[in-house]
Amino acid sequence: QEGQDCRLRFVAFDVLRFAGEDVTARPLKERLALLDAAYLAAENPHLGLAKTHVSDKAYVHEGLLAAGKEGSV
C-alpha cells in the first residue's frame, strides 16, 4: 500500500469464524477477545478494531438514531 500511496484500512468489529470454528453462538465478549487476539497476532498496520460497546447497547443505539445517524450493528 505504501508504494501505491494507498490509504486503505480494514477495520473489524466482530468475528464469526476463528481457527476454522464457527463462533457465532459464543457471547460477544468472548468473540471480541478472539478478535483482539487475532488482531494482535497479525501485526499488520493496515488492520484496525472498531470501538465496540458491550453494555448499554440499546442506549447507545437510540443515541445514534437521535443524533441523525443510521444506527449501529
At 14-24, the pLDDT tens digits run 899 999 999 99
DSSP string, 52-64: ---SSHHHHHHHH
Name beta bridge partners: 48.
11
pLDDT at 16: 92
Q: What is the DSSP letter of 45?
A: T
Name the one residue in this structure whose C-alpha cell is 487475532: 38
Name the one residue in this structure whose C-alpha cell is 481457527: 19
Average pLDDT taken over every residue of the chain: 83
